[in-house]
Amino acid sequence: MVTKRVVAAFMSAWVAVGCGASEQEELSQPPLATTEAELSVTNGSQLNGSQLNGSQLNGPGLNQRLVSVRYDGARREGMSTPLDEVWLETSVFHGLLGSEELSGMDFLQMRFVGNLEDGTTLTMRIDAITPGTGADQDVWAYRVSYLHRLDGQWYPICKNADGTPGNAIPLENRWDFRQGVAGGGGKIYDASAFTFACEGAALAKCVRSGYVPWRSVNGVSLEQHHHACTRMIRADFCGDGTSYTVEGNWVNLYDAMSIQVDTEAWVPEAEWTSDGATCFSSQTRATTPISCGERLVTSCGTSFAPKTLIISETPPQQ
């Protein structure tokens, strides 16, 4: 039985990895920060999307969501004996195989067991890793593939908008991908599993926005800010997993900790917690009627209420 160690760390990094190859290849990404001053970044208008994660596997004869990945069962390429223990420190993998301790680049070509939404599993492989340097050491991105059980070919778990293989950030625990039900879109604390968050979808976008869930600012954990951000990015107003937006709508966001600051003279949209919007205004990104209409108020988003973590704005209507 593999257990997970929770380790507090204050490092930062953004890296990318190449698909199906062992060589490292860096992406030009803005560095992530650690101090309150560094976290005060220029916000500007951002593109939102409806997907919580992008890990919908569409190989031949397979159209399922990858809901989580197991720590248990991880093994090196070509070996039948799994590691005795695997855990994440920030987004860096660590493990034990007998008396040998593994970490970081030792996980290149490591195989994991992925959990599909129908309860079955598949084999996954880390194809390449690029570690961060200097102050950017805690957000590692991986390019990961899965083995299709029918044709024996490897396919990427994440894809960019143009169809090319994408990158993923490993996050502790797993998420509820259901929509329109209590708990939908929420984080599920599960010490046996982690999530490969695909670049471009909400889980990874919120890390890239500075809401790195294992970090703290002035003693305040950013875990709930990350969760609130995933609700906001998807316009999950009711906190039940239902997204009321479409890919590519514009949204401006900011918070009371100045991780994201308000740089746009836009219209207040909603106030956000990890449970969804506590209120929203008459101008939202919603493309269909919002089911929790009782949260519509005229003064929403003008200031931070005690429980509000993030405020969102939309462009003025033309």
Candidates 286, 299, 91; CA nearest to 194 is 91
Task: Say which residue the tokens 């100045």 belong to.
Answer: 258
pLDDT tens, 133-183? 554 579 999 999 999 988 899 999 998 888 898 999 999 999 999 999 999
- Name the amino acid, one letter, at 11: M
Model pTM score: 0.84
pLDDT tens, 133-143? 554 579 999 99
Backbone angles phi, psi at 98, to 5 degrees: 65, -125
Per cent of the chain over pLDDT 90 is 67
pLDDT tens, 240-293? 999 999 888 899 999 999 999 998 999 999 999 999 999 999 999 999 999 999
* Interacting residues of 144 by C-beta distance below 8 A, sequence separation 6+: 124, 125, 126, 127, 156, 157, 158, 168, 196
92-105 average pLDDT score? 96
pLDDT tens, 291-308? 999 999 989 999 999 999
DSSP state of 258: S
Measured distance CA(228)–CA(208) in Å, rounded: 14
